[in-house]
């Protein structure tokens, strides 16, 4: 497995380089322009050219790519065009916050989704099954920004209370967890709903397999059959889905972090996009892209643990 992991990591290099190139090139394709924003639509050509040069936007794409790649190799993501601060420092400060929400959301989403999926499969076509499936469909259908907005605004209107929105770090652990829990819950809804539906489907399929029937015929307890024999086999597609959902979770954090006023990567990204702060957008895209690749590698490696028949060569 180690050789496989190393070969996959080496294989990621061209993918990361392509990611870097796309991150640099996309700047030319994003409509709108930071220069217009900074100059407040002032059409003065000379001043515009001066500003473009000052911001380094007058260089051709190859030069920009080489400069950028050289910087990223030594973990230098450049400087924000608006705040003049090192992007690497900002990413370092914000990435743990976003990851924290994503991890909490993943834990909640996985526990709830898998558990409900199992219950739904075991109680197929009962009232409980219908209720859980309906909830899952709602969880998939309603966008998390709508849920987040409702959770923030409606209690304030009805009862004069609202989730705490003034972010504090781990220096106040209880307050911090209170602040992080609700956005993580919102973010976990879609994951839980998707996992619930998939777990139900795969469980139903596995539960009809011969070896499950054999296990039952042997007189094994229902719990043992379900969790040791059925669930583990049903989880492979579920784990694959979780890997795919990581990218969704990071994407979902853009809105959730804005609504719940969390100073994470998503918030940083949306601000940078609105301001056309290109180096920041590039840095976040590269970081998230690389992270998703690594998560998918981890997911691939986990298959062997879930199903010993799988061998890497």
Partner 1 sequence: MQDNLTYPRGISSWRRARPSRRAVLRGGLLGATGLAGAALLGCSDPDETSDGASGSEGSGTGVSGNGSGGGTASSVTLERAPGYPGEDFGKAPVNEKARIMGGELRLFGTSLFDARQNDPDRNNAGGLTEWNNDRLTIPKGGGWTTEVVYDMLASSEAVDETKLVLTIRPGIKTHNRPPLNGRIFTAEDVAYSINRKAGKLDPVAAEAYSRAVQFTGLNRAEAVDDVTVELTFDSPNGSVLPALADMRASMIPIEADEIGYSDPMQIPGTGAWILESNEPDVRSVLRANPDYYRSDEEGGRPSFDTVNIAAYPDRAAQVAAFLTGDLDQLTAVLPHEDAQITASRSDALRYSSPSAAWEHFQINPARVPAFQDKRMQKALQLSIDYAGTMDPLSSAGWFYSPPLHAMYPESWSQDQVKALPGYNPDTKEADIAEAKKLAAAAGYEDGNGISWTNTQYSTTSNFFQTAVRLQEQWSRIFPGMSIEFQQLPDFATYTNVKATREFDGTNYNFASVPDIALDAMTYYHSTGTRNYASYNEPWADDLIEKGFQSMDSEERRELFGQFMQRYVEEGGPTIALGVLFTDHAYSPTVGGADLFSGTWHFFYGSTYGGNARWLWRTE
Interface residue with partner 1 among 185, 234, 235, 259 (CB under 8 A) is 259
Stretch that binds partner 1, among 26-34, 178-186, 196-204, 282-290 (CB under 8 A): 26-34
Stretch that binds partner 1, among 241-249, 258-266, 291-299, 301-309 (CB under 8 A): 258-266
Interface residue with partner 1 among 6, 9, 18, 50 (CB under 8 A) is 50
Q: How far is the CB of 174 from partner 1 (least distance, A)?
A: 18
Instruction: Report long-range pairs for 267-271 (Cβ below 8 Å, ≥24 apart).
Output: 267/94, 268/90, 268/91, 268/94
Q: Where are the beta strands (DSSP E) in 123-204?
A: none
Q: How far is the CB of 146 from partner 1 (least distance, A)?
A: 10
List Cβ neighbours of 41 (8 Å cut-off, separation of 6 or more): none
Site string for partner 1, 147-186 (x = CB under 8 A): --x--xx-xxxx-xxx--xxx-------------------
Distance CA 295, CA 103 (A): 12
Site string for partner 1, 79-108 (x = CB under 8 A): -xxxxxx----x------------------
Asked if 137 touches partner 1 (CB under 8 A), the answer is no
In the complex with partner 1, the residue whose CB is nearer, 37 or 115, is 37
CB atoms under 10 Å from CB of 167, counted, come to 17
Interface residue with partner 1 among 14, 31, 219, 308 (CB under 8 A) is 31
Contact 106, 242 (CB under 8 A): yes
Contact 267, 124 (CB under 8 A): no
In the complex with partner 1, the residue whose CB is nearer, 54 or 307, is 54
Stretch that binds partner 1, among 37-45, 212-220, 241-249, 298-306 (CB under 8 A): 37-45
How many CA atoms are closer than 13 Å to the CA of 60, on its beta-carbon side? Answer: 1
In the complex with partner 1, the residue whose CB is nearer, 10 or 29, is 29
* Number of residues this chain uses to bind partner 1 (CB under 8 A): 51
In the complex with partner 1, the residue whose CB is nearer, 36 or 307, is 36
**CA nearest 295: which of 242, 233, 235?**
242
List the alpha helices (DSSP H) in the chain: 2-29, 34-38, 45-55, 61-73, 87-122, 127-141, 144-159, 173-207, 210-217, 222-224, 232-259, 265-275, 278-306
CB atoms under 10 Å from CB of 180, counted, come to 19
Q: Interface residues for partner 1 in 272-291 (CB under 8 A)?
A: 273-276
Burial (CB count <10 Å: 0-12, 13-18, 19+), residue 261: middle
Asked if 270 touches partner 1 (CB under 8 A), the answer is yes
Asked if 258 touches partner 1 (CB under 8 A), the answer is yes
Instruction: Report long-range pairs for 209-214 (Cβ below 8 Å, ≥24 apart).
Output: 209/233
- Contact positions vs partner 1 (CB under 8 A): 31-34, 36-44, 46-48, 50-51, 80-85, 90, 149, 152-153, 155-158, 160-162, 165-167, 258-261, 263, 267-268, 270-271, 273-276
């Amino acid at each position: 497995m180690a050789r496989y992991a190393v070969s996959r990591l080496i294989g990621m290099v061209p993918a990361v380089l392509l990611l870097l190139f796309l991150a640099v090139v996309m700047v030319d394709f994003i409509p709108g322009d930071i220069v217009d924003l900074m100059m407040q639509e002032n059409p003065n050509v000379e001043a515009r050219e001066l500003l473009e040069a000052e911001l380094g936007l007058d260089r051709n794409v190859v030069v920009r790519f080489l400069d950028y790649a050289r910087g990223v190799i030594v973990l230098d993501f450049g400087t924000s065009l608006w705040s003049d601060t090192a992007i690497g420092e900002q990413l370092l400060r914000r990435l743990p916050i976003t990851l924290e929400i994503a991890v909490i959301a993943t834990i909640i989403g996985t526990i709830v989704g898998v558990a409900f999926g199992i219950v739904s499969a075991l109680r197929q076509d009962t009232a409980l099954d219908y209720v859980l499936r309906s909830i899952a469909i709602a969880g998939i259908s309603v966008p998390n920004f709508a849920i987040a907005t409702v959770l923030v605004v409606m209690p304030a209107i009805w009862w004069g209370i609202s989730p705490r929105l003034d972010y504090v770090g781990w220096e106040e652990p209880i307050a911090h967890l209170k602040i992080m829990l609700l956005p993580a819950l919102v973010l976990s809804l879609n994951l839980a709903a998707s996992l619930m539906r998939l777990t139900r489907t795969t469980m139903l399929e596995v539960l009809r397999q011969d070896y499950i029937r054999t296990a039952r015929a042997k007189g094994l307890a229902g719990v043992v059959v379900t969790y040791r024999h059925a669930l583990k086999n049903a989880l492979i597609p579920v784990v694959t889905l979780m890997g795919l959902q990581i990218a969704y979770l990071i994407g979902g954090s853009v809105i959730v972090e804005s609504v719940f006023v969390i100073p994470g990567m998503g918030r940083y990204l949306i601000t940078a996009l609105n301001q056309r702060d290109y180096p920041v957008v590039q840095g976040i895209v590269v970081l998230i892209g690389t992270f998703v690749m690594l998560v998918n590698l981890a997911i691939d490696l986990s298959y062997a643990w879930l199903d010993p028949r799988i061998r890497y060569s």
